[in-house]
Structure formats: C-alpha cells, structure tokens
Amino acid sequence: MDNQDALSQFKEKFSSFYQTNKKSIAIVSAVVIAGVAGGYYWANEYIPAQESKAAKALAPMHYYFKNDSMEIVINGDKTLKLKSAKSVADEYASTSKGKEAALMVSIAYMRTKKYEEALVYLDKTEANDKILAGSILNMKAVCYSNLGETEKAASYFAKAGDIAENEFSAEYYKRAGIHYETAENYEKALKYYQIIADKYPTSGVGTDINKYVYKMKAKLGDYNP
C-alpha cells in the first residue's frame, strides 16, 4: 500500500468514526472549551475579586489582633458590623488573604488556649516562605504538646527544623529532642540532639548540646566516657 492509499484509507476510517461518534465528540469538545473558559475566569476574574473582598473584610482585624483583642478576631463584632477573621478564613479559603486570616485565627486560638481549634485553622493556611512555613509547623507542634500528644508534637518540631534550614532550626530540633526524650524515644531524641551538635554547634542551643547527646547515649547504653 502506497502513501496515497494509506491516506485515503485513514480518511475513510476517520469519517466513519466521526459519523458514529460525533455526538460524543461534540460533548467532549464542549467540556474542554468550557474548562478552558472556566479556568480563565477563575484565575483572571473570580480569584482577584475574592482577594479584594477578603482584604477589605480582614483589614479591620489587624488593629484588634495587634491590640490583643482575640475575642473579636475570632468572633467579630456585630455592634460594629465587623466580620471576624475566622469568617474571612472560611469564606475566602482559596485566597491568600483567606490563608492570612486563618493564620491570624490560629494564633488567636492559641493565645486563648484553644489548641484543637487552632489546629483546624493552621491546616487552612500555608506559606511558600521557609521561615513562615517552619513557624506554622512549630505552632502545630506547640498545639499537640499542649494537648498531651508528646510524640506527635516532637515530629512536628522536627519537620519545622527540616523545612526552615535557618537559625531557628536548632531551636526546633532541640524541642523535638526534648519531646522525644519525654516520650522515652531515646533514639530519636539522640538523632535531633546530634543534628544540632553537627550542624549548629555555635547556635544559642548548640553551646551545651553535648550534655544532651551524652545523656541519650547513656540511656541507650552507648556512652563510654
């Protein structure tokens, strides 16, 4: 079969396929076009409009947050017709301002010792910045620690140290080590104390970290002075 015959045969098969399936093809094409149009609208119109609304609603909360009025941050004020940061976080969850509101609410709940509620809103925020991302993980760890979930707290302190990769890492690792030690998981406690000794010996928590390392080695029967 030469190229011309092959092309003719392909055209016949395609025409037959199209005639049999043209209704399905039309539906698929419409769905694809609608998806593209919907994606453009979402990115270029809907999200910017939502961002603007969220920013306007959240703006007054910065004053109350700064002045430690956590009750208003969480619940708003009907008399003053103020929308709470919590409602902004819920209503505009897909926006950056919604995620900022979620972080604000998380801190407010932590300051009022409502750690389970804080964890809910910490899960609604996110950060591309390593310092802030590490801080969010650290806050989750603090919540779990206060809820008595010691080993889970330790794991989040360790994650905070891993993601931060900065001067805060040593402090996060030490908290991880202390929590693992409290949970009697001495191998993991030693692991994080040793990381500080190896990577951050001149940091504030690194200057006396060897005593923690030796203590864990003694617990594990590995210390021979």
pLDDT in tens, 8-22: 554 454 455 445 555
115 and 146 share one domain: no
Are residues 117 and 137 located together in one domain of the fold? no
Shared domain check, 158 and 68: no
Same domain, 146 and 121: no
Q: Could you say which of 126, 155, 171 is where a domain stops?
A: 126
The pLDDT of residue 40: 47
- Among the candidates 78, 104, 126, a domain finishes at 126
The answer to whether the beta carbons of residues 183 and 151 sit under 8 Å apart is yes
What is the secondary structure of 122-189 as a DSSP string? HTT---SSHHHHHHHHHHHHHHHHHTT-HHHHHHHHHHHHHHH-STTHHHHHHHHHHHHHHTT-HHHH
Instruction: Return the structure tokens found at 7.
Output: 């092309």
Question: Are residues 145 and 57 part of one domain?
Answer: no
In this structure, the answer to whether residues 224 and 175 fall within a common structural domain is: yes
| Position 53 in a domain | yes
Specify the number of domains making up the chain: 2
Cα separation of 145 and 179, whole Å?
Answer: 8
Residue 87 lies in a domain: yes
The whole domain housing 100 covers 21-126
Q: Mind listing the pLDDT tens digit of every residue in the chain (225 residues)?
A: 554 554 455 445 445 544 555 555 455 455 555 555 544 444 555 667 778 888 899 999 999 999 999 999 999 998 888 999 999 999 999 889 999 999 999 999 999 999 999 999 999 998 888 888 999 999 999 999 999 999 999 999 999 999 977 779 999 999 999 999 999 999 999 999 999 999 999 999 999 999 999 999 999 987 665
Task: Say if 6 falls within a structural domain.
Answer: no
Rounded to whole angstroms, how far apart are CA atoms 157 and 125?
18
Question: Do 26 and 122 lie in a common domain?
Answer: yes
- From 96, 126, 156, give the residue that closes a domain: 126
CATH code where residue 152 lies: 1.25.40.10
User: Is residue 10 situated within a structural domain?
Assistant: no
Residue 220 and residue 187 in contact, taking contact as beta carbons nearer than 8 Å = yes
In a domain, 216, yes or no: yes
Assess contact for 133 and 163: CB atoms under 8 A.
yes
pLDDT at 49: 77
Is 2 inside a domain boundary?
no
pLDDT of residue 32: 52
28 and 92 share one domain: yes
Q: What is the pLDDT of residue 42?
A: 46
